[in-house]
Structure 1
Amino acid sequence: MFGATSVISAFCRGLREVRCLHMSQISASQVMVDGLQLNYEVKGDGDKVALCLPGALGSVESDFGPQMAELPGMGLKVVCWDPPGYGRSRPPPRQYSADILRCDAELVADMMKNLGYDKYSVLGWSDGGISGMMLAAAFPQHVEKLVIWGANAYITQEDYEIYKGIRDINTWSKKMREPLETMYGREYFKVAWEGWVDAVCSILEKQGGDICTGDLRNITCPTLIIHGAKDPVVPLFHPNYLKENIKNSELVIMENGKHNVHLRYPDEFNKLVSDFLHRA
């Protein structure tokens, strides 16, 4: 079992590495959806549209720099958003609940409709992968293909204990706190992180750990599951479960990858994604 320090380190390392990997400052676009001002970015002019969904406390800039920089040159139009309360989709602050990721899925579907996109594929990392599965299940008429990594359909007691163990940011080292404090400011980061941990843990307390297992049977589009073999945040049994329960899915294990495989190995990851999305 991986310890809390490994989990925090893996989460924050992704934020540090993306600053070295992404292109120069991304300009913001805004759209009003269901009373919320949402930040999004569009890059490229390819016929195939790929919607990127960030992970916990994630944004366009922190989570998808290498994809926004490279995938448009691989024949794709890439759309990425900051979920409400994250990145530049503030204010208002993030409003956490056990169903927040489902709310994100519905909201981003409305955003894409408002922006005029009827058909698109979904790329979701971690929490964004969970929302991506919910989106594909609920809106099969819009989602052509699904790519998910670092995602899970349920949480276990082991997951619960790890999350509880990392709730207090005062136990984190300065090096681990710094990327998120820089992005959000210490107070907002503290409140947002605690809200995220509490919301995730409530899924085990109130729902027996079930996040979206029932959605999996309703995913009909071709699905690519990518997973880092050394991921300390989401153990390998999670992607194996997804592979077994999502029809028309395939699983690719990146042997040296951890939770942030798309940031640590962007060339390999982007090629996998491009080849999959262009496949007939």
Structure 2
Amino acid sequence: MFDITVNILKEYFTVYTIDTRGHGNSSPVSELHYNEMAEDIYSFIHKLELDKPILYGFSDGGIIGLLLSIKYPNLLSTLIISGVNTNPNGLQKKWLILFKIIYKFKKTKEYKLMLEEPNITIDMLHKITIPTYITVGSKDVIRKEHTNFIHNNISNSHLKVFDNEDHGSYIINSDKIAKYLLEILIMKHQKK
């Protein structure tokens, strides 16, 4: 899924790819909560003694990145997030309705999480002070106004919209996000 991006980035940087709890090869769990996943990432960073790493998170990973940056403002040096929402209403209405209908018939922990979390307030966004890069597809499931709301309430943020792309088309099995990440990382490295 992210192999193209990882293979490009690992030529220049140390890259860690993490399966959050209940996803990929991680242990199964009975419930999913973003705050717990954020604590898992915090523990990972501390266990490996990573000094102010750059975190890139897509969708759930981006939400986790927001929560980390809010709770631990000095943990990361830079946050890069794609396709994130701060609450379930950040999803386009048609998708939110569809997910609610699906959840009536298929009560999975993933749909429950999507319909109940996150709950990031405007005051919480104001606590994020590190450089933050936000990306979204022009045809994303996340509402445009919602992405702008996030961008406008993080003081040191930059917004990039990928034209004619949906929630994951510029990320999954694509080199588009890798090229954008490289631009940011090289620019950041040159400033040192």
The answer to whether TM tops 0.5 is: yes
Alignment of 1:24-173 (within 5 A): 64-73=2-11, 75-90=12-27, 93-97=28-32, 100-156=33-89, 158=93, 160-167=96-103
- 1:135-185 per-residue CA deviation (whole Å, 9 max, x = no partner) reads 11222222000111110112229354231123378xxxxxxxxxxxxxxxx
Distance 1:269 1:160 in 2: 26
Displacement of 1:264 in angstroms is 5.2
Unaligned runs of 5+ in 2: none
Percent of matched pairs sharing the same residue: 28
Distance of 1:243 and 1:264 partners within structure 2: 26
TM-score (structure 2 length as normaliser): 0.86
Give the whole-Å Cα distance in 2 for the aligned partners of 1:145 and 1:102. 19
One-letter amino acid of the counterpart of residue 65, structure 1: D
Q: Looking at CA atoms only, which structure, 1 or 2, has the larger radius of gyration?
A: 1
How many residues of Structure 1 are paired with residues of Structure 2 in the alignment?
183
The structure whose residues are more often strand, as a share, is 1
Q: CA RMSD in A?
A: 2.1
Report if aligned partners of 2:55, 2:80 keep a CA contact under 8 Å in 1: yes
Aligned partner (choices 99, 121, 124) of residue 215 of structure 1 = 124
- Tell me, in whole angstroms, the C-alpha distance in 2 between the residues paired with 1:254 and 1:264: 15
Structure 1: which 5+ residue stretches go unaligned? 1-17, 19-63, 170-189, 204-209
In structure 2, relative to structure 1, the CA distance for the partners of 1:167 and 1:65 (3 Å cut) is: farther
- 1:164-218 deviation digits (Å, cap 9, x = unpaired): 123378xxxxxxxxxxxxxxxxxxxx77xx1121233234xxxxxx621242111
Deviation of 1:134 (Å): 0.6
- Contact 2:84/2:147 (CA < 8 Å) preserved in 1? yes
Q: Answer whether contact 1:119 1:143 (CA < 8 A) is retained.
A: yes
